[in-house]
Amino acid sequence: MEEKYTKALKEIEHKKIFKYLDQNFNYFSIEWMNVIAMWLGNSYSTYNSHNKYLIHVYLLKSYFEFLSKNLVKIDWEDFFKLTEVEIKKINIALISKDLLISKETTRRKIEELETEKTIKRTLKTTKIKLNVYNNKFQEKNKKFIKLMCKFLTQISEDLYKKGIIYNDFNKEELEKTILKNYSHVWKEFFEMILPFWIDWKKIFGNVETFHIYLIVFQNNNYEIQKYLKYNKINITNKKDYMLMHSKIIKKTGINAMSISNLSGIPRITVIRKLNFLVKNGFINIDNNKLYYPTIIANLESQIAKQNSKNMERLSIFVTKIYNLTIASI
């Protein structure tokens, strides 16, 4: 018991984590982009619509907040045994405002969710049916948790080496913490990921466009990392990191069909979004119809600034998971 209380005194501060994440994005960029890409892929595949899944997550977040407020935690197995949960009556205007989705689209997506029997509205409450969380979804969720734990382990090892934290966490103990405290961890995750989604929508117009841009950027990032490693270049400045994607001579492009396969978004939609990204200077296309990032100056600073905001949110989430794991050991 004494040892547990001693460990609790070594609580990790999120400001230190944020400073590390903000200055070392290049180091963990591949793993972090893999996490976001899988999350976006899983979200789109659930309803074939990012907006519909955004609404679903927004509503479910209310349930997790209720549990947390009343000091209740549900583990992974018990959560997926639930058939439905109940929250207060929903407000379409508020959902539209919070998620940056038009009222007409919000109303239409909610009606679709009702038709699909995923939600059921009454005069006073809304029931969220959990029928979308079938075995296939649960398998994807487990894979996502494992990928998240891999990312958390990678940065914890570096944080530990640099003396920023006192514990280095392995994938097994992090996964155990997340599964045991599933409802609480997912509340924290939703609090991070929803603003993340919404802010990128402000830049790209919608989540699908950002999803496609991320895949193009992620694809090129593998070549960037090889180039930096081969030339022993260490980048900590985000501006230089973004510029590297535009200036590197050897670029790794990706075609529309591959983007469609990776994202699950129909090819015709992918092409339309790619045309928008090219027209607005986010990406370029070569003679082989391969797409790669080529960010113009005003977008470079805008994206770098947004990334810093996301690192702040990520640092809060990471800190809470680490401290929760310390308390659970």
**In this structure, what token pair is assigned to residue 133?**
């969380």
Output the pLDDT for position 303.
77
pLDDT band at 247 (very low <50, low <70, confident <90, very high): low
Per-residue pLDDT averaged across 54-70, rounded? 95
15 to 96, 144, 155: CA distances (angstroms): 32, 26, 15
Per-residue pLDDT averaged across 231-237, rounded? 73
Output the pLDDT for position 1.
40
Beta strand 125-129 pairing with 84-88: antiparallel
What are φ and ψ of residue 292, in 5° steps?
-150, 155
Structure pTM? 0.89
Examine the pLDDT at 58 and tell me if it is beyond 70: yes
Strand, helix or coil for residue 87: strand
pLDDT band at 246 (very low <50, low <70, confident <90, very high): low
Output the pLDDT for position 57.
93
Angle, helix 207-230 to helix 182-204, in steps of 10 degrees: 90
Asked if CATH classification 1.10.10.10 holds for the domain at 207-304, the reply, yes or no, is yes
Per-residue pLDDT averaged across 113-138, rounded? 91
* Least confident range of 12-21, 98-107, 227-236: 227-236
Output the pLDDT for position 127.
94
pLDDT band at 166 (very low <50, low <70, confident <90, very high): confident
Identify which of 309, 281, 290, 226 has the alpha carbon closest to the alpha carbon of residue 252.
290
Q: What is the DSSP string of 133-180?
A: --HHHHHHHHHHHHHHHHHHHHHHHHHHHTTS-S----HHHHHHHHHH
**CA atoms in the 13 A half-sphere facing the CB of 154:** 17
Q: What's 239's DSSP letter?
A: H
Q: What contacts 293, CB < 8 A, 6 or more positions away?
A: 216, 217, 220, 245, 246, 282, 283, 284
Share above pLDDT 70 across residues of the chain, in percent, rounded to a whole number: 89
pLDDT in tens, 126-154: 999 998 888 999 999 999 999 999 999 99
Average pLDDT in the chain: 88
Provide the CA 266 distance to its chain's centre, in angstroms.
Answer: 21
pLDDT in tens, 176-195: 999 999 999 999 999 999 99
Output the pLDDT for position 132.
87
pLDDT band at 299 (very low <50, low <70, confident <90, very high): low
- Measured CA to CA, the distance from residue 307 to residue 240 in angstroms comes to 13
- Measured CA to CA, the distance from residue 19 to residue 58 in angstroms comes to 29
Domain boundary assignment for the chain: 207-304
Output the pLDDT for position 5.
41
pLDDT band at 318 (very low <50, low <70, confident <90, very high): very high
Tell me which residue has tokens 């998620």.
99
Examine the pLDDT at 249 and tell me if it is beyond 70: no
